[in-house]
Amino acid sequence: MPKLKPHKGAKARFRVTKNGKILRTKGGSSHLRRNKPKRVKRQYSSLVSVSTKDRLRVSRLIPYGA
């Protein structure tokens, strides 16, 4: 059985913790950032876990990561 290759885009966008959680960054952080409040800008720096419905889809894209 050959090794499965990860999806390069998913590999760059998602991280997997040691417990197996898949983390993602929030979208919309780069465009029109000056007009947004400080609280919103601060929230962009944190990572968010992927929703339970999308977890299976993302884990298929990164087979050995999750």
Q: In the chain, what are the domains?
A: 1-24+33-66 (4.10.410.60)
Q: Which ranges of 3-50 would DSSP assign to H, the alpha helix? A: 8-13, 38-44
Under DSSP, the state recorded for 34 is: T
pLDDT at 66: 62
**Do residues 28 and 40 lie in contact, with contact meaning Cβ atoms separated by under 8 Å?**
no
- pLDDT tens string for the chain (66 positions)? 899 999 999 999 999 999 999 999 998 888 888 899 999 999 999 999 999 999 999 999 999 886
pLDDT at 31: 86
Under DSSP, the state recorded for 57 is: H
Q: Residue 22: how many CB atoms within 10 A of its CB? A: 20
**Do residues 24 and 14 lie in contact, with contact meaning Cβ atoms separated by under 8 Å?**
yes
